Amino acid sequence: MKRKLEITELIFKIISYTLLTIFALCCLYPFIYAISAAVSNREAVEYSKIILPPIGLQFEAFSEMFNNNMFWNSYANTLFLTLYGTIWSMLSSILGAYALSKKRLLFRKFFNFFLVFTMWFSAGIVPQYLNYIATGKVFAGMGITDDKWLVVIAMGMQAMNIILLRNAFEGVPSEIEEAAIVDGATETQVLTKVYIPMSKSTIATVSLFFAISRWNGYFWARQMISNSNEHPLQVFLRLRLDQYTDPEFLAGWNKVYAPDSVIYALIVCSIIPILIIYPFIQKYFAKGVNVGGVKE
C-alpha cells in the first residue's frame, strides 16, 4: 500500500512539474519573442520568420528609441508617477487600514461595509472622470496645477489593498500593542514601531501591487494628462504604435529594421524595471497575500 502511494505521488509530481514548466515557457515566450523581434532585420519581422532566436541581428531600433528625447521624458514621467503614486497610496492605505482594524473606532462596521461596498458597485467611468476633474480644480486652487500630481493624488486608494492591510493589522496580537502603550508609546509609535514591522510582508506585497498599477497605468493618465511632455511611458507607447501603423508614415519607411522592431524595443525597455524589482519582493509575495487575505 505504501509503495502504491509513493508511485501515485511520483506520477502526480511529474505531471504537476511538467504542466508548470509548460505554463512557465508559455509566459516566457512572448518576452523572448519581443527581444528577438526588436533586434531582427526588417524582412524577418515583416514576414513573421522569427520563432525564437533573432534573425539578421541589428540594434538600430534600440538606437532610434534611445536617441528619442520623448522616450526618456516619458520614462521619467513614469518613474515619477510610480514612485510618488506608490508612496501616496501606501501612506493613505496604511493609515486607513490601521484605523479600520481598531475595534474601538466609532462606526467601524459602517466604514468597513462602505469600503467593501465600493468593490461591489461602481458609479462608472463618467462620474469617476468628473470626480477627478473636480479634484483637479480643488488642487489647482491650492497651487497644484501639474497634471501628474493629479494622477498621483486622485488615484491614491484601492479598496482591496486596504482590506489586505487591515486584515494584516488585525492579525497583530493585541498584547504587543498593550505592552507598547504601557511603555508610553503614542498611537503613531504603535503604528510605526509595532504594526508596520510586523506586517512588512503584506506591506511589501501591496506596495508591489500599487507600483505595477502605476507603472502600467494608461487610461486615466491618457485622459487626465493633457500636456504631451508629461505623458508616461504607456501613453508614449500607444502614440508610437499609432504612428508606426499609419499607412502614410510607413509609405516613406526605408530603414533596415521594421517599424514593429521599435515598438518591441520600447516594450522590452518598459518591462525591465519591473523584472529587476520583482525578485527582491517575491519572497514576501505569498506570505503577504496569505496573511492579509485570511482573517482568523
Q: Which three cell numbers stand for residue 206?
A: 501591496
Closest CA to 102 of 192, 195, 180: 195
Q: Looking at residue 286, what is its pLDDT?
A: 55
Spatial separation of the C-alpha atoms in residues 255 and 251, rounded to whole Å: 12
Taking the CA of residue 153 as centre, how many other CA atoms within 13 Å lie in the half-sphere pointing to its CB?
Answer: 17
Show Cβ contacts of residue 217 under 8 Å, excluding neighbours closer than 6 positions. Answer: 81, 151, 155, 232, 234
Question: Is residue 113 exposed (0-12), middle (13-18) or buried (19+ Cβ within 10 Å)?
Answer: exposed
Q: Looking at residue 294, what is its pLDDT?
A: 45
Question: Average pLDDT of the chain?
Answer: 83
Q: Is the pLDDT of residue 206 over 70?
A: yes
What value does the mean pLDDT take over residues 241-257?
82
Main-chain dihedrals φ then ψ at residue 123, nearest 5 degrees: -70, -25
Q: Is the pLDDT of residue 91 over 90?
A: yes
pTM more than 0.85: no
Q: Is the pLDDT of residue 87 over 90?
A: yes
What value does the mean pLDDT take over residues 262-290?
76
pLDDT tens digits for 119-137?
A: 787 777 788 778 777 777 7
What CATH architecture applies to the domain 69-231+272-293? Answer: Orthogonal Bundle (1.10)
Q: Is the pLDDT of residue 291 over 60?
A: no
Spatial separation of the C-alpha atoms in residues 276 and 274, rounded to whole Å: 5
Closest CA to 171 of 198, 201, 205, 207: 198
Which position has the higher pLDDT, 80 or 121? 80
What value does the mean pLDDT take over residues 221-240?
86
pLDDT band of 5, cuts 50, 70, 90: low
Neighbours of 122 (CB within 10 A): 9
Q: Is the pLDDT of residue 296 over 70?
A: no
Q: Looking at residue 143, what is its pLDDT?
A: 61
Q: Looking at residue 1, what is its pLDDT?
A: 57
Spatial separation of the C-alpha atoms in residues 94 and 197, rounded to whole Å: 12
What value does the mean pLDDT take over residues 52-72?
88
Helix axes 125-141, 147-154, angle to 10 degrees: 120
Spatial separation of the C-alpha atoms in residues 258 and 244, rounded to whole Å: 9
Q: Looking at residue 18, what is its pLDDT?
A: 92
Q: Is the pLDDT of residue 27 over 80?
A: yes
> C-alpha angle 223/239/273, rounded to 5°?
90
Residue 56, phi-psi category: left (phi > 0), alpha (psi -120 to 50), beta (remainder): left
What value does the mean pLDDT take over residues 42-68?
88
Q: Is the pLDDT of residue 198 over 90?
A: no
What value does the mean pLDDT take over residues 171-177?
85
What is the maximum alpha-carbon separation in the chain? 77
pLDDT band of 93, cuts 50, 70, 90: very high
Amino acid identity, position 208: L
**Ranges 43-52, 62-71, 216-225, 277-286: which has the least confidence:** 277-286
Domain positions in the chain are: 2-46, 69-231+272-293
